[in-house]
């Protein structure tokens, strides 16, 4: 491997000759050997940096064309497009565990785009700081990249994944209309419920989660870009904040605006905390749904066994024929990871001091991991489990007929206390509710049959 000499304000640095990054990126690469190759800055953040650097160049060209000339703007935009498209991914080696402002990742983007732009132009037109970073600071670009990446991840990955599972549940509801089974509360038998009603609870939970995520997207669409170092907008031309937000909207097809208060935008991360809370809420509901499915599918002979789910792979290295609810298990593990990430996001958001929050890289890492994992988890659960759920109607009917909580239907006729006595006698002597009720003299056999209709209890 050959090297070339790059320099920054601290002096000269050797950089691998085939890489587009410069001195500041190299210093960070050498000074933070923490999780190298594993916990690098998320690709979503690099993608977002490509978008905002192109938008900034276009805004600067419109507002200060004497500095951001036609030639510079074209070269920077062409290089930024390659960042957006992922063609320059190998030139972004920096880890999450760096400066808390993300300054080194901002400079990584500046250096890569400047060097590639100069290569495209065939001359040294662009400087990382003077041109690619024109009208910007790491302190407003990193939170801007964070918001762009979060909005894209939520709208383009998580919401569609959840909607796909919602649609599957809607079909399952239709397929299971009229199927009555025993309800359960406290993991104990309860009064009857239609299986379609049970599924509707799953579906409605996810629909509400999608509503909450959409609600959280709104505040994330406000961008810090234009605040520069401390929120005052120093060295940015008038109108840069508004124009750059407009260009980012054009590039993404999403409605971004400039944050009305840049002092808040640089130091507070309440929007990220709120949004991750919505992601966590969906993870919590997915945990509940996955647990319901694996409980209902438990067995095949010694469990509830009320539904059958796809058999995707052998479940044991020692027990032949065993099949496990592995898709449910991956969902619950992902949900736990998201819940843990929520703690990290909340703690990071609490660490804003004066004019800047310096926990942004770890917030980006955890937030985007949560969205990525949960989106992929939901899609996997949908395709490899939910679409194949089949009700075992005979088992549901068997469990329903054996449920002592059907006695609740007798309350209007024999009263709560007598109904309780009936249930207890039936359980103690292992007889039917009808036999117990008649034995206790509360109803005649004919009257019992007249008033006892479990299917009408839903």
Residue 336: CATH number of its domain: 1.20.200.10
Residue 256 has what pLDDT?
Answer: 98
* Residue 240: inside a domain: no
**337/203 Cα distance (integer angstroms):** 23
Residue 454 has what pLDDT?
Answer: 87
Residue 125 has what pLDDT?
Answer: 97
Q: Which residue among 347, 369, 394 closes a domain?
A: 394
User: Tens digits of per-residue pLDDT, 270-323?
Assistant: 999 999 999 999 999 999 999 999 999 999 999 999 999 999 999 999 999 999
Is 23's pLDDT higher than 90?
yes
* Residue 300: inside a domain: yes
Point out the residues that are catalytic.
186, 316
Tell me the two tokens of residue 228.
């520069």
Domain range spanning residue 366? 146-182+192-218+264-394
Nearest to 117 by CA among 74, 86, 87: 74
Residues 170 and 56 in one domain: no
Average pLDDT of 402-420?
Answer: 95
Separation of first and last alpha carbons in the chain: 73
Q: Omega before 136 cis (within 30°)? A: no
Residues 16 and 113 in one domain: yes
Residue 325 has what pLDDT?
Answer: 97
Residues 204 and 302 in one domain: yes
Cα–chain center distance at 11 = 42
Share of the chain above pLDDT 90, in %: 98
Residue 352 has what pLDDT?
Answer: 87
* Residue 256: inside a domain: no
User: Tens digits of per-residue pLDDT, 350-363?
Assistant: 998 999 999 999 99
Average pLDDT of 170-194?
Answer: 97
**231/234 Cα distance (integer angstroms):** 8
Q: Report how many domains make up the chain.
A: 3
Average pLDDT of 18-22?
Answer: 97
Q: What are phi and psi of 432, to 5 degrees?
A: -75, 165
User: What mean pLDDT is reported for the chain?
Assistant: 97
User: Tens digits of per-residue pLDDT, 332-341?
Assistant: 999 999 999 9
User: Tens digits of per-residue pLDDT, 35-52?
Assistant: 999 999 999 999 999 999
Residues 111 and 196 in one domain: no
* Residue 68: inside a domain: yes
Residues 413 and 390 in one domain: no
Residue 391 has what pLDDT?
Answer: 98
DSSP bridge pairs for 12: 7
Is 1's pLDDT higher than 80?
no
Residue 433: CATH number of its domain: 1.10.40.30
User: Tens digits of per-residue pLDDT, 114-158?
Assistant: 999 999 999 999 999 999 999 999 999 999 999 999 999 999 999
> What is this structure's pTM?
0.96
* Residue 229: inside a domain: no
Residues 128 and 17 in one domain: yes
User: Tens digits of per-residue pLDDT, 184-204?
Assistant: 999 999 999 999 999 999 999
Residues 415 and 308 in one domain: no
Residue 22 has what pLDDT?
Answer: 96
Residues 150 and 124 in one domain: no
* Residue 258: inside a domain: no
**By three-state DSSP, how is residue 86 classified?**
coil
Q: pLDDT band for position 163 (50/70/90)?
A: very high
Residue 237 has what pLDDT?
Answer: 98
* Residue 375: inside a domain: yes
User: Tens digits of per-residue pLDDT, 77-95?
Assistant: 999 999 999 999 999 999 9
Residues 175 and 50 in one domain: no
Residue 455 has what pLDDT?
Answer: 85
**445/443 Cα distance (integer angstroms):** 6
Residues 112 and 75 in one domain: yes
* Residue 328: inside a domain: yes
Average pLDDT of 247-271?
Answer: 98
Residue 326 has what pLDDT?
Answer: 98
Nearest to 409 by CA among 445, 428, 429, 433: 433
Residues 390 and 419 in one domain: no
Residues 431 and 329 in one domain: no
Q: Which residue among 347, 373, 394 closes a domain?
A: 394
Residue 67: CATH number of its domain: 1.10.275.10
């Amino acid at each position: 491997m050959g090297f070339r000499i790059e320099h920054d304000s601290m002096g000269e640095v050797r950089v691998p000759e085939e890489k587009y990054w410069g001195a500041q990126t190299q210093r960070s690469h050498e000074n933070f050997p923490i999780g190298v190759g594993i916990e690098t800055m998320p690709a979503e953040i690099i993608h977002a940096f490509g978008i905002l650097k192109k938008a900034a160049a276009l805004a600067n060209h419109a507002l200060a064309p004497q500095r951001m000339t036609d030639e510079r703007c074209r070269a920077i935009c062409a290089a930024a497009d390659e960042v957006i498209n992922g063609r320059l991914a190998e030139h972004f080696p920096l880890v999450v565990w760096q400066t808390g402002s993300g300054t080194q990742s901002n400079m990584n983007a500046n250096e890569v785009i400047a060097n590639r732009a100069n290569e495209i132009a065939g001359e040294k037109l662009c400087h990382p700081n003077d041109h690619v970073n024109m009208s910007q600071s790491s302190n407003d670009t990193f939170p801007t990249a964070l918001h762009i990446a979060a909005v894209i991840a939520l709208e383009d990955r998580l919401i569609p994944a959840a909607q796909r599972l919602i649609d599957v549940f809607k079909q399952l509801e239709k397929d299971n209309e009229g199927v009555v089974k025993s309800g359960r509360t406290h993991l104990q038998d309860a009064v009857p419920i239609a299986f379609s009603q049970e599924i509707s609870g799953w579906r409605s939970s996810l629909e509400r989660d999608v509503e909450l995520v959409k609600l959280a997207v709104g505040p994330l669409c406000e961008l810090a870009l234009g605040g520069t170092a401390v929120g005052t907008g120093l060295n940015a031309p008038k109108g840069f904040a508004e124009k750059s937000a407009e260009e980012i909207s054009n590039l993404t097809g999403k409605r971004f605006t400039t944050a009305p208060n840049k002092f808040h935008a640089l130091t507070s991360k309440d929007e990220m905390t709120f949004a991750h809370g919505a992601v966590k809420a969906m993870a919590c509901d997915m945990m509940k749904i996955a647990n319901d499915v694996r409980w209902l599918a438990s067995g095949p002979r010694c469990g509830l066994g009320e539904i059958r789910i796809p058999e995707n792979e052998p479940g044991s290295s020692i027990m032949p024929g065993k099949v496990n609810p592995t898709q449910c298990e991956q969902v619950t593990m992902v949900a736990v990871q998201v819940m843990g990430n929520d703690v990290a996001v909340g703690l990071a958001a609490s660490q804003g001091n004066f004019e800047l929050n310096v926990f942004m890289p770890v917030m980006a890492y955890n937030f985007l991991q949560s969205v990525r994992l949960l989106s992929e988890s939901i899609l996997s659960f949908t395709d490899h489990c939910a679409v194949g759920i089949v009700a075992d109607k005979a088992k549901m009917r068997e469990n329903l007929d054996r449920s002592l909580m059907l006695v609740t239907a007798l309350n209007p006729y024999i009263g709560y206390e007598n109904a309780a006595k009936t249930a207890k006698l039936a359980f103690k002597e292992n007889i039917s509710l009808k036999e117990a009720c008649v034995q206790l003299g509360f109803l005649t056999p004919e009257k019992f049959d007249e008033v006892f209709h479990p299917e009408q209890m839903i």
